[in-house]
A and B are shown apart, each in its own frame.
Chain A
Amino acid sequence: MIVGYVAGKSPLHQAHPFTALALAATVVVLAFALPAPQGPAALAVALAALALLARLPRVLLTALGFSLPFWFFLGVIHGLIGETPLRALTVGAQITAMLTAFLLVLATVHPARLVDALLQRGVPFSLAYLLSATLQAVPRLRRQAADIVEAQRCRGLRVRGSVWRRTRAVVPLAIPLVLGALGEVDERAMALDARGAAAPAHRTALEPPPDSTAQRVVRWLLAAAAVGVIVWRVLA
């Protein structure tokens, strides 16, 4: 199971981040717009092939691992109880197709490259900062939360027992985490202020990812495919 960037040299790795994102967005549209159940099923197969072509079989395995519980419950609720197995197949294929596309993008687009690409296109610094600062803050706070659980248990906090006792135990766990985080706000705000975060000026990305005409064509083709399928479905 992997979620996140995997270093590599596949065409998807070298593509501009926006090309990869356009691919994922098109897959989402197609998953719901193509006629069910054949359309979503074919889409899921096509993405599996793409993952193998990009030499990322582990991404495919992760997508299948994530899909498994969905397939199981869809099979029970719609296949066995509701007796509509085609609905189970449709929703299952949609979920697997979207998962594979999204995990492929995560595996091939480095977050720093995406932020650079956004900055180069004139996206405000504050938005790009929010994106990258959050991606850094989450794993750190998760680690901190795990540390707090251990520290409080060392001090004798009981996390077993009746529901009431366990619910009360959440308070001494949550408060240190939240107050610790709020305590950082001042320092960070000053650092951001010193770097002119509030200034609306355009910033230059240090190493903008290269784009090409071919990729622009691919992006337009993807958009055209998404719009085309919707128009065809509405007219038919």
Chain B
Amino acid sequence: MAAVSPRLLALIPLAVGINLAMGKFAAATSLPLFLDTAGTVLVAALAGPAAALLTGVVSQTTFTVLDGRLMWLAFLPVQLGVALYASWAAWRGLFASVPRALLSGAGLGVLAATLSWPISLLLFGGVTAGGVTIVTTLLTALGVPLTWAVYGASLSADVLDKVVTFALVHAVLISLPGRMAARFPAAARALGRT
């Protein structure tokens, strides 16, 4: 921990702030999105996996503390999975174009749904409140077994959310002013420019 550079110490709280503030935009546009991993994905593209993992941990902890609902901490593996996948995507230059970003975002959506599925099923009996649970309830009422209803609901929500998240990070990376981009050499790689 002592090895964290002042740059990362400055970046991570702001990235967590981005994670937790983006929900305002989803609410303002009444879209069924969380966008609560946008900061984590951004840090992955700007500073690599270690910083992204740290952002994920701090983000999930802070969200839990500010929201007061302790159980969100159980979803920490999802943030960590997002951090690792996004770092890999950035390293492979998958933020280079909109189609690439959309496709790799969809991949992240499947990963995130697969990670959150056992957690919400085993720990919360499939009930995590909010829009996803309404879909789950509808699916179970239609006769879909609970196991698959939970997966179907998270899948539909997560794929949409992560596709938009990746598209947004692509948009941010290409509009990064040169002076700022120069501070984060990894950003050029994420855009496939090296």
Contact = CB atoms under 8 A, between A and B. Distances in A.
A102 B71 CA distance: 10
Interface residues of A, number: 72
A182 B20 contact: no
Nearest to A134: B13
Interface string B39-68: 000100000000000100010001011111
Contact of B17 (A99, A130, A137, A200): A137
A159 to B, nearest CB: 5
Contacts of A173: 25, 28-29
A66 B66 CA distance: 13
A179 B14 CA distance: 11
A124 interface: yes
Interface in B1-43: 1-2, 4-7, 9-18, 20-22, 24-26, 28-31, 33, 35, 38, 42
Nearest to B28: A149
A197 to B, nearest CB: 5
A226 B9 CA distance: 35
A81 B127 contact: no
Contacts of B92: none
B168 A170 contact: yes
A46 interface: no
Interface string A135-169: 11110111011100100000000010001001101
A54 to B, nearest CB: 16
Contacts of B180: 179, 182-183
B188 to A, nearest CB: 15
B126 interface: yes
A166 B13 CA distance: 28
Contacts of B172: 174-175, 178-179
Contacts of A95: 71, 124
A43 to B, nearest CB: 13
B25 A174 contact: yes
A24 interface: yes
B68 A177 contact: no
Contacts, number: 198
A181 B18 contact: yes
A126 B4 contact: yes
A194 to B, nearest CB: 9
Interface string B115-136: 0000000001111010001001
Contact of B12 (A66, A103, A130, A149): A130
B80 interface: no
A178 B14 CA distance: 9
A129 B168 contact: no
Nearest to B2: A200
A178 to B, nearest CB: 5
B114 interface: no
Contacts of A207: none
A127 B25 CA distance: 30
Contacts of A231: none
27 contacts: A3-B67, A62-B68, A70-B124, A70-B129, A73-B129, A73-B136, A73-B137, A77-B127, A82-B146, A99-B71, A102-B69, A103-B68, A124-B1, A126-B1, A127-B1, A138-B16, A138-B17, A138-B62, A140-B17, A141-B20, A159-B28, A166-B30, A179-B175, A182-B11, A185-B14, A189-B9, A189-B11
Per CB-CB distance, the 5 closest pairs between chain A and chain B, nearest first, are: A141-B17, A188-B10, A3-B68, A102-B70, A192-B6
Given A174-B25, A185-B14, 9 more contacts: A91-B125, A124-B2, A127-B1, A159-B28, A171-B171, A184-B10, A186-B10, A187-B10, A198-B2
